[in-house]
């Protein structure tokens, strides 16, 4: 029987209210939901569904299961691998946008937990936790628009993983609606629970392919009262790895962030954000942005950072360094780091990589890759930056001058093969934090073992036998 779009939309509208079912046929503009953040993928959707609570998500999932409609969970749509937007062809696809489910149910300062709906914006949770004297440590450039559900579904990383771990390390409990509409209540704030399989782990990092996350209980930490930020110039990545070891040894648990920024990345930011100050007296091939935080006073922490950095200068594991004198200067240093993503987007064609390796192997990887890239793709401009403290680099490759973005995108397969084969040869990962989505799906067969893929497919079939959840992503 042919699919009856109007009847389906009418049923969905009866379930959650007409205003909350957007569709192109009645003139709603769906483009903000159907196009990915990087503007590289756009396909039509049957509808954008905006439920108000878990009960409405259940009702919509039952309707989808009955009618064979695919469901794409969507948070802030800031993901980097086009996992939250429709794919070409296949069955009708509805986007399930969680933005209306943005309540913070509870901040429990004694248990150090927050329980929130999936559509809560990350920045909102960070601000509410701070008002209660607590820190929710996940922090990333998109925090003003990405949602907790999206952060969990992508197992997001960000700039504090060094100290607090990925999103997976921050989740204690989940509520999930399964593809058949059943509600799985795993919403517990326990730090210890060994009663069988840890089911929540299936949904963390699953990119919406196994169920809809509707709520979560996450860990909070005492809010630090002091922070200190430094920016250093270095000759090589090997020196940066030595600096990491030396600073961790001196600063211990206080050391929270260690971000690598190449000289070319700094130049790119200064081209598109001309107000960015020259932070060091001369241009270095590599830089590191570091942050430490603790529960004491700013002055004492700053002195400890200064002493540690001076010792590193004497030992030769850093060449030049500037220490922020106050919060405002610290923010300026961070905005340079955060603007790299935006500068690359403004610059046009770039092929993004999101790789991880054991930290000890990163210098050899970069030193081998840079000349190989330049030789294989003359004029290509590597823009390297990222979370060196976690062994995770954004080894991006911008188009040679004069090459149109579309022409450069056509080289994606060849550039990826060069970079990803080298990563795989060193037993690294081709996606450390952004995920697979539709962007890297076709590469899974080359970089995962047959046994890994088989187990993934068996889990997928067990939880989603109809293949309704986010088809065409990951597997
Ligand atoms: P979306 O993009 O909407 O969705 C992402 C995936 O999660 C999709 O597969 C979607 O189907 C699924 N999903 C969303 N909500 C749910 C739900 N409730 N239930 C089930 N599945 C769901 N990422 C990092 O890891 N580290 C960074 O440092 C970082 N920095 C960034 C900086 C910028 C400027 C930008 C634009 C992005 C950055 N990202 C980073 C990528 C992105 O912000 C993260 O992946 C984020 O976690 C995605 O959240 P979202 O709400 O936007 O999810
Ligand atoms: C980052 O580290 O800034 C993010 O992962 C986004 C990006 O890859 O640019
Ligand atoms: Zn990143």
146 CA to middle of ligand 1, Å? 6
* Average pLDDT of the residues in 245-251: 98
Please list the residues that pair with 183 across neighbouring strands.
Answer: 177
157 CA to middle of ligand 3, Å? 7
Same fold, 226-329 and 348-434: yes
ipTM over 0.95: yes
Ligand nearest to the CA of 166: 1
Tell me the best of 140, 145, 161 to mutate to test the pocket of ligand 2, counting ligand atoms within 8 Å of each CB and taking the most.
140
CATH code for the part of the protein at 348-434? 3.30.70.2740
Q: DSSP assignment of 355-411, as one string?
A: EE--GGGHHHHHHHHHHHHHHHSTT-EEEEEEEGGGTEEEEEEEPPTT--HHHHHTT
Residues with CB under 6 A from ligand 2: 80, 141, 341, 386, 394, 433
Q: Which CATH architecture has domain 104-222?
A: 2-Layer Sandwich (3.30)
* Average pLDDT of the residues in 283-309: 97
Q: Where are the domains of the chain?
A: 104-222, 226-329, 348-434
CA pair distance 264, 271, nearest whole angstrom: 11
Q: Which atom from ligand 2 is nearest to the alpha carbon of 354?
A: 8
| Residue 174, both tokens | 């989940």
Q: Which atom from ligand 1 is nearest to the alpha carbon of 143?
A: 43
Q: Mean of the per-residue pLDDT values for the chain?
A: 97
Q: Which atom from ligand 2 is nearest to the alpha carbon of 141?
A: 3
Distances in Å between the Cα of 414 and the Cα atoms of 191, 411, 433, 444 are: 45, 5, 22, 16
433 CA to middle of ligand 3, Å? 7
Ligand nearest to the CA of 396: 2
- What tens digit of pLDDT does each residue of 46-75 get? 999 999 999 999 999 999 999 999 999 999
Q: What percent of the chain has pLDDT over 70?
A: 100
CA pair distance 270, 220, nearest whole angstrom: 36
Tell me the best of 84, 434, 475 to mutate to test the pocket of ligand 1, counting ligand atoms within 8 Å of each CB and taking the most.
84
* Average pLDDT of the residues in 393-398: 97
Its CATH class, for the domain covering 226-329, is alpha beta
Q: DSSP assignment of 223-261, as one string?
A: PPSEEEEEEEEES-HHHHHHHHHHHHHHHGGGEEEEEEE
Beta carbons of 49 and 446 less than 8 angstroms apart: no
- What tens digit of pLDDT does each residue of 97-145 get? 999 999 999 999 999 999 999 999 999 999 999 999 999 999 999 999 9
Query: Position of tokens 């696809």?
Result: 93
Would the pLDDT of 81 be above 80? yes
> Could you tell me whether strands 226-234 and 320-323 are parallel, antiparallel, or unpaired per DSSP bridges?
antiparallel
* Atom 7 of ligand 2, residue of closest alpha carbon: 341
128 CA to middle of ligand 2, Å? 25
Q: Which atom from ligand 1 is nearest to the alpha carbon of 203?
A: 20
* Atom 9 of ligand 2, residue of closest alpha carbon: 341
Residue 265, SS3 per DSSP: helix
5 CA to middle of ligand 2, Å? 38
181 CA to middle of ligand 1, Å? 23
- What tens digit of pLDDT does each residue of 153-198 get? 999 999 999 999 999 999 999 999 999 999 999 999 999 999 999 9
Within 10 angstroms of residue 48's Cβ, the number of other Cβ atoms is: 22
Q: Which atom from ligand 2 is nearest to the alpha carbon of 158?
A: 2
Would the pLDDT of 1 be above 90? no
Residues with CB under 6 A from ligand 1: 37, 72-80, 83-84, 98, 118, 140-142, 146-147, 149-151, 153-154, 156-158, 207-208, 212-213, 341, 433-434, 470, 473
Q: Would you state the torsion angle of the CA atoms of residues 409, 412, 413, 418, taken in this order, to the nearest 10 degrees?
A: 160
Residue 184, SS3 per DSSP: strand
57 CA to middle of ligand 2, Å? 31
380 CA to middle of ligand 3, Å? 21
Q: What percent of the chain has pLDDT over 90?
A: 98
Sequence-distant (6+) residues with CB within 8 A of 117 are: 98, 101, 102, 103, 104, 105, 148, 214, 215
- What tens digit of pLDDT does each residue of 269-290 get? 999 999 999 889 899 999 999 9
* Atom 10 of ligand 1, residue of closest alpha carbon: 84
CA pair distance 335, 329, nearest whole angstrom: 10
- What tens digit of pLDDT does each residue of 349-393 get? 899 999 999 999 999 999 999 999 999 999 999 999 999 999 999
- What tens digit of pLDDT does each residue of 418-448 get? 999 999 999 999 999 999 999 999 999 999 9
173 CA to middle of ligand 1, Å? 19
Distances in Å between the Cα of 235 and the Cα atoms of 181, 305, 358, 366, 409 are: 56, 21, 21, 13, 31
46 CA to middle of ligand 3, Å? 32
């Amino acid at each position: 029987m042919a699919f009856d779009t109007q009847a389906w939309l009418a049923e969905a509208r009866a379930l959650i209210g007409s205003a909350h079912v957007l569709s192109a046929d009645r003139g709603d503009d769906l483009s903000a939901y159907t196009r990915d953040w990087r503007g590289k993928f756009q396909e039509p959707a049957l509808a954008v569904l905006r439920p108000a609570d878990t009960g409405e998500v259940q009702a919509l999932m039952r309707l989808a299961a009955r009618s064979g409609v695919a469901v794409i969970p969507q948070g802030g749509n800031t993901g980097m691998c086009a996992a939250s937007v429709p794919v070409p062809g296949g069955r009708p696809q509805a986007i399930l946008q969680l933005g209306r489910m943005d309540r913070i149910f509870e901040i429990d300062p004694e248990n150090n937990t927050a329980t929130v709906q999936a559509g809560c914006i990350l920045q909102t949770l960070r601000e509410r936790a701070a008002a209660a004297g607590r820190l929710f440590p996940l922090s990333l450039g998109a925090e003003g628009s990405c949602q907790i559900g999206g952060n969990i579904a992508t197992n997001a990383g960000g700039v504090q993983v060094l100290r607090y771990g990925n999103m997976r390390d921050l989740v204690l409990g989940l509520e999930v609606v399964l593809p058949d509409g059943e509600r799985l209540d795993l919403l517990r704030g326990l730090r210890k629970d060994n009663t069988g399989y840890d089911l929540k782990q299936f949904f963390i990092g699953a990119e919406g392919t196994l169920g809809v996350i509707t709520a979560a209980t996450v860990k909070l930490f005492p809010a630090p009262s002091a922070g200190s930020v430094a920016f250093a110039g270095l000759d090589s990545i090997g020196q940066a790895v030595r600096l990491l070891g030396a600073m961790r040894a001196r600063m211990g648990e206080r050391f929270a962030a260690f971000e690598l920024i190449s000289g070319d990345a700094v130049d790119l930011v200064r081209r598109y954000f001309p107000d960015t100050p020259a932070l060091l007296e001369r241009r270095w091939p590599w830089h590191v942005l570091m942050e430490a935080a603790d529960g004491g006073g700013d002055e004492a922490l700053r002195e400890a950072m200064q002493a540690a950095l001076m010792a590193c200068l004497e030992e030769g594991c850093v060449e030049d360094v500037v220490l922020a004198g106050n919060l405002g200067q610290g923010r300026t240093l961070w905005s340079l780091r955060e603007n790299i993503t935006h500068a690359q987007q403004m610059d046009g064609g770039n092929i993004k990589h999101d790789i991880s390796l054991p930290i000890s192997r990163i210098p050899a990887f970069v030193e081998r890759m840079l000349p190989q890239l330049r030789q294989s793709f003359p004029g290509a401009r590597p823009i390297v930056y990222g979370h060196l403290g976690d062994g995770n680099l954004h080894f991006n490759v911008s188009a040679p001058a004069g090459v149109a973005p579309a022409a450069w995108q056509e080289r994606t397969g060849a550039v990826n093969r060069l970079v990803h084969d080298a990563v795989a040869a060193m037993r690294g990962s081709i996606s450390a934090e952004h995920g697979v989505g539709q962007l890297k799906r076709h590469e899974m067969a080359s970089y995962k073992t047959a046994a890994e893929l088989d187990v993934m497919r068996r889990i997928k079939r067990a939880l989603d036998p109809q293949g309704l959840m986010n088809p065409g992503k990951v597997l």
